[in-house]
Amino acid sequence: MSSPPKSTTIPHIVKEEVIASGKWLKLEKTTYVDPVGNTRTWETTKRTTRQANAADGVGIIALLKRTLHKDCVVMVKQFRPPMGCCTLEFPAGLIDEGESAETAALRELKEETGYKGEVVGVTPVTCLDPGLSNCTTQIVMVNINGDDLENTNPTQQLEFVEVLLLPLDEFQSKIDDLMKKEKIVVDSKVYIYGMGMSQAFFKPNELRVLKQ
């Protein structure tokens, strides 16, 4: 015998109480009503730095294009305190006050890698880890003319960030090689991009036979 259907409600936030706050982050107790009308709580982290009507930060998929070279994705390796080890990530950073995602992306790319790029696309605001935090990002696609004089000997402004160039057509396998060689954790956006690239390069027709 099936149980009677529960009434459905539009889930919504009731209140947000700050439990702890630091310079960069705060922890809140979020009280909300769930889809069946029950009032519940959730532990939520938020950045204190978010600018009005903007994502918290940008991630940058930067493609270095040079004559007689394979196109390479510009990656950064750095020690990340929350992980307690080095990570492999797309260049990224927080959006400053009054900045657009595009401007923040070109600024962060220059700071972290030394390259000067040109924006060719930008995603909508996307969430990063919605079970943990309200943190959002916009991913900005950037092309870098590696033949341009200003990009032939790039000088980064952050000494603790190592720049790695990974060929686009071997992106996933180069990452797998790196992970075998050293203790490094790969950002999930990066690995998923690699899986997508492998699909596009090596199994481009497989998707067509799949039903929606």
Ligand X SMILES: Nc1nc(=O)[nH]c2c1ncn2[C@H]1C[C@H](O)[C@@H](COP(=O)(O)OP(=O)(O)O)O1
The partner residues of 17 in beta bridges, in order of sequence, read 29
Stretch that binds ligand X, among 12-20, 60-68, 88-96, 163-171 (CB under 6 A): 88-96
Stretch that binds ligand X, among 5-13, 67-75, 86-94, 143-151 (CB under 6 A): 86-94
Are 36 and 43 in contact, with CB atoms under 8 Å apart?
Answer: no
Closest C-alpha among 125, 134, 138 to residue 26: 134
Residues 107-126 that bind ligand X (CB under 6 A): none
Stretch that binds ligand X, among 87-95, 141-149, 170-178, 196-204 (CB under 6 A): 87-95
Among 94, 106, 109, 175, the residue binding ligand X under the rule CB under 6 A is 94
Among 25, 165, 179, 186, the residue binding ligand X under the rule CB under 6 A is 25
Token pair listed for 46 = 């938020």
Stretch that binds ligand X, among 12-20, 61-69, 90-98, 196-204 (CB under 6 A): 90-98
Q: Which residue is nearest to ligand X (CB)?
A: 93
Q: How many residues bind ligand X (CB under 6 A)?
A: 5
How far is the C-alpha of 133 from the C-alpha of 127, rounded, in Å? 9
Residues 6+ apart with CB under 8 A from 8: 35, 36, 37
Closest C-alpha among 9, 19, 10, 8 to residue 42: 19
Q: How many residues does the chain have?
A: 212
**Cβ 146 to ligand X shortest distance, Å:** 23
**Cβ 105 to ligand X shortest distance, Å:** 11
Residues 6+ apart with CB under 8 A from 59: 89, 90, 91, 92, 137, 138, 139, 140, 189
Considering the rule CB under 6 A, would residue 59 count as an interface residue with ligand X? no
Alpha carbon of residue 35 to chain centroid = 29
Name which of 93 and 117 has its Cβ closer to ligand X: 93
Considering the rule CB under 6 A, would residue 61 count as an interface residue with ligand X? no
Among 2, 5, 24, 183, the residue binding ligand X under the rule CB under 6 A is 24
Rule CB under 6 A: which residues touch ligand X?
24-25, 92-94
